[in-house]
Amino acid sequence: MEYEPIIGLEVHAQLLTRSKIFCGCSTTFGALPNTHTCPVCLGMPGSLPVLNENVVEFTIRMALATHCQIAAISQFARKNYFYPDLPKGYQISQYELPLAEKGWVEIETQRGPQRIRINRIHMEEDAGKLIHDEFQPVSHVDFNRTGVPLIEIVSEPDLRTPEDAASYLKMLRETLRYLEICDGNMEEGSMRCDANISLRPVGTERLGTKTELKNMNSFRNVQRALEFEIRRQRALLEKGETIIQETRLWDTGRNTTVSMRGKEEAHDYRYFPDPDLVAIVIDEQWIERVRGSLPELPDAKRERFMRDYELPPYDAQVLTSSKALADYFEAAVQRFAQPKLVSNWIMSELLRELKKDEKDIEGCQVTPQQLAELLELIDKDIISGKIAKSVFQEMYTTGRSAAGIIDDQGLKQVKDESAIESVIDEVLAENNKEVELFRGGKEKLFGFFVGQVMKKTKGKANPKLVNEILRKKL
Amino acid sequence: MSAIMREKITRSEIRHVAKLARLELQEEEERLMTDQMNNILSYMDKLNELDTSAVAPTTHAIRLQNVFRKDQVEPSLEREEVLANAPQSDGASFVVPKVF
């Protein structure tokens, strides 16, 4: 039987506020354990949480960017469970009245563009970090991360393949980064993803039993975990066995998902409205103010790049894949106004090098101005396109300017006719036989002579002049 | 517990809630809790006699909304103070029995 995977994702994104969600402790990553804590985030009796206004502001931004409806009244709730990373015995989250609901994003899939519905976006606090001791049966608890603001973005089960899931995740990441509300770093945990997945026979409506996958800390792992889980569930169904509804952890080392046993009662969270926090009332005015402050989002930017710079859709897609890359392109075009040429160089030379080094555009030593300068030099025939590529390599590794490298290495194109003429004379003198053959009608040899001249001048001779003079001489 | 009063919460539900709250109840305590909880829940019936159809639901008795703080970093506690009440610590982190 053919099975169709039904996938939904829950994405947690750490918001880039300076202070925590309910207290003034710093959110900076990497501090010594428990140095960013206070009575509020340690859950001490008598302390009271007060909501950070930027958390609301940032969440509204994401809600608008994903076409959600923003609740006029929303409320925090307590999610009760016992785990040592949670000093209060409950997590402050939202339950019945989340800030935003019923949105969507559009993603590219093999079946064409698909709209993925978003069920809800809510605010909550992050938990602390546990480090399990290697030698003793104890854990070490660091509460620095406790109370760092998160938003949880819950999709509807609209994803159909692991590739869909990856492309949806990338879309969310791109949007969060464009909005400058989350750095989107999955490896460092500032963006985390859980997946719900079930299979059903193709053509049927009823959903199968789902499993929840956790612990996938990269785009690649999300895709691999889903691929594995599809195979596992399909094998069980084909044997006539039933899927158990459970949480499974992705094990990167072993490329498999493993059941988390013994959580049978853990899902009874006994949510109730948090009496310590008052309702959040958001009016049209507030929403419109945030809407007005939104930056240009990926879709709009893509369209503008196609329209204003006359770029093909593919170029526009690649260049707007991150805000930093789009900004880089625009800064370069400002200096050298041939958008397609700039785009070609970014997409081929620049992105190839960055990919090789696993770096982002932010880590690139070549500034957009320097790239523009290099293209200007090609445009003015000061260097050839071929030499420019090796100059670029040098710029990329050293961060030096094109002009400096060209001067140092004497790479300037030779446009001095007499200099070229003397090289040509040399070449013709050294290749008597070929000259005779050419004059005898073997026209194809012209390319051979050009090649020899270029070789002697290390590619620096101006090709147009070489052609002209060679024609004359032959 | 009087037989006429309809049970709002059962013994097994009490056991379940106690387990979630990490409480170990003796037989006698279970019975006592079941009775008391049933009394409390029955009192809710009394409240339900009020007609609240024209009143919007609320989670607070006070009319207060949108209480925010600015996104500003304030000094945290000294770590010594943070760990002062910890049953066990290693000087940097709280130390707790290992969970799964």
Indicate the pLDDT class of residue A473, thresholds 50, 70 and 90. confident
Q: Report the chain A residue with the minimal C-alpha distance to residue B88.
A: A140
Q: Flag if A279 and B76 touch (Cβ within 8 Å).
A: no
Residue A388 has pLDDT above 90, yes or no: no
pLDDT at res. A380: 83
Lowest mean pLDDT among A195-209, A224-238, B28-42, B49-63: B49-63
Chain A residues lying within 8 Å of B72, measured CB to CB: 18-19, 24
pLDDT at res. A357: 86
- Say yes or no: A262 contacts chain B, CB-CB below 8 A: yes
Q: Flag if A32 and B92 touch (Cβ within 8 Å).
A: yes
Residue A384, classed as helix, strand or coil, is coil
**Tokens (6 digits) for B46:** 């009394």
Residue A322 has pLDDT above 90, yes or no: no
Q: Give residue limits of the domains in chain A.
A: 3-287, 296-409, 417-473
Lowest mean pLDDT among A5-14, A69-78, A79-88, A280-289: A79-88
Question: What are all long-range contacts of A294-301, with beta carbons under 8 Å and residues at least 24 apart?
Answer: A294/A61, A294/A64, A294/A65, A294/A179, A295/A178, A295/A179, A295/A180, A295/A323, A296/A178, A297/A65, A297/A175, A297/A178, A298/A171, A298/A174, A298/A175, A298/A178, A299/A106, A301/A326
pLDDT tens digits along A406-454 = 777 766 666 677 777 777 888 888 888 888 888 888 888 888 888 888 7
Cα angle for residues A98, A102, A107 (degrees, 5° grid): 125
Q: How many residues in chain B?
A: 100
Q: Do strands A247-251 and A211-216 pair parallel, antiparallel, or not at all (unpaired)? A: parallel
Lowest mean pLDDT among A16-20, A37-41, A108-112, B79-83: A108-112
Chain B residues lying within 8 Å of A141, measured CB to CB: 93-96
C-alpha dist (Å) from residue B1 to A218, A253, B10, B16, B33: 57, 57, 12, 20, 11
In the block, tokens 């950070």 appear at A52
Q: What is the distance between the alpha carbons of residues A161 and A91, in angstroms, rounded to a whole number? A: 32
Residue A379, classed as helix, strand or coil, is helix
Identify the CATH class of B7-45.
mainly alpha
pLDDT at res. B4: 45
pLDDT at res. A429: 82
- Say yes or no: A294 contacts chain B, CB-CB below 8 A: no
Query: Comparing A431 with A123, which gets the higher pLDDT?
Result: A123
Residues 6+ apart with CB under 8 A from A138: B88, B95, B96, B97, B98
The average confidence (pLDDT) of chain A is 90
**To 10 degrees, what angle do helices A432-439 and A446-456 make?**
150
- Say yes or no: B26 contacts chain A, CB-CB below 8 A: no
pLDDT at res. B100: 61
Lowest mean pLDDT among A121-125, A260-264, A318-322, A443-447: A260-264
CATH number for region A417-473: 1.10.10.410
Tell me the whole-structure pTM to 2 decimals: 0.80
pLDDT at res. A263: 53
Nearest to A116 by CA among A157, A153, A162, A174: A157
Indicate the pLDDT class of residue B2, thresholds 50, 70 and 90. very low
Q: Which of 7-36 (A) contact B at CB < 8 A?
A: 17-19, 23-26, 32-36
Residue A384 has pLDDT above 60, yes or no: yes
Q: How far apart are the CA of B85 and the nearest CA of chain A, in angstroms?
A: 11
Query: Comparing B20 with A239, which gets the higher pLDDT?
Result: A239
pLDDT at res. A159: 96
Q: Flag if A137 and B97 touch (Cβ within 8 Å).
A: yes
B51, β-bridge pairs:
none
pLDDT tens digits along A24-44 = 999 999 899 999 999 999 999
- Say yes or no: A140 contacts chain B, CB-CB below 8 A: yes
pLDDT tens digits along A141-188 = 999 999 999 999 999 999 999 999 999 999 999 899 999 999 999 888
Residue B3 has pLDDT above 60, yes or no: no
**Percentage of chain B exceeding pLDDT 70:** 93
pLDDT at res. A25: 98
Task: Find how far residue B88's CA is from the centre of its chain.
Answer: 26
Indicate the pLDDT class of residue A108, thresholds 50, 70 and 90. confident
Chain B residues lying within 8 Å of A32, measured CB to CB: 79, 92
Q: What is the distance between the alpha carbons of residues A321 and A396, in angstroms, rounded to a whole number? A: 21
